[in-house]
Homo-oligomer: A and B are copies of this chain.
Amino acid sequence: MPLTGNRKWLNEVIFGTDTPAGKAFDVALIWTILASVGLVLLVSVESMAGRYGELFFILEWIFTALFTVEYLLRIYCAVDRRSYVFSFYGIVDLLAILPSYLALLYTGASYLLVIRLLRVLRIFRVLKLVRYLRDANLLVRSLWQARRKILVFYAGMLVLCIIFGAMMFVVEGPRHGFTSIPKSIYWAIVTITTVGYGDIVPQTPLGQAIAALTTLIGYSIIAVPTGLVTAELASEMRHERTLHRCDNCSRADHDPDAEYCKHCGYKLAELHDLHGERAAE
């Protein structure tokens, strides 16, 4: 059932991105989200919360009011209300306002503070506005193509970490900070990924030799996910380029951000649409 009148107009403004009003709404929304996220960050700083606590409290309720109105309007003008409410973004929209109301009942729970931070996820819904979505799609598609190889890689790496962690537990033992095998595995993961906090550190010569071996292996296999993603990205980018074909002279060697054919000046079809077609195939 197509929407009419008020609801149709509201739908175009709130959910749409093509009309000037829709764009303005999206831009206003993105700034409101960023401001409310910044507010949550400041609230968590004790010295700030002490000095400006009251101001923060008022601002928080203003943001909550704004998001509540927006949430109700979204329900009002959605094409299919039920599917909106239970969609991923529907739930994120609800989570953006719920914690403030819950805080009236339970006081001081820092968990609620963190759930408020999930508002940051709402930014992704507004990103539809910009051309960046296509590039995000490319990244996600490449990672998705490589998903099984990445999983196999992680499985192998975890087994390595378990074995190295267990060896360090035996070699260094609890008196040097390796108090249990899970903690030693935590050390192995921190080492093999080259993070190296330095909170747990081998102190015996043998332990240091094993640690050196672990870092060398970590240094070497960092190449594997990089190689995987690079190969997939290169293949996806080639694919995208061949999709970008001029309808007039049918040459296909255009840059991904080209808007006109560089051989005959004909307007190129939007890559965005082409992805849509591909998805619909």
Contacts and interface: CB of A to CB of B under 8 A. Distances in A.
Interface of A: 37, 40-41, 44-46, 110-111, 113-114, 117-118, 120-121, 123-124, 127, 131-132, 135-136, 138-139, 142-143, 145, 148-157, 159, 162-163, 166-167, 169-170, 173-174, 179-183, 185-186, 189-191, 193-199, 201, 205, 208-209, 211-212, 215-216, 218-220, 222-235, 237, 255, 257
A138 B228 CA distance: 10
Given A41-B181, A226-B223, A216 B234 contact: no
Copies per complex of this chain: 4
Contacts of A138: 149
Contacts of A224: 139, 143, 229, 233
A46 B45 CA distance: 35
Contact of A219 (B155, B162, B170, B222): B222
Nearest to A43: B181
A154 B216 contact: yes
A132 to B, nearest CB: 5
Contacts of A114: 166-167, 169-170, 181
B218 A226 contact: no
Given A139-B152, A190-B196, A196-B196, A180 B46 contact: yes
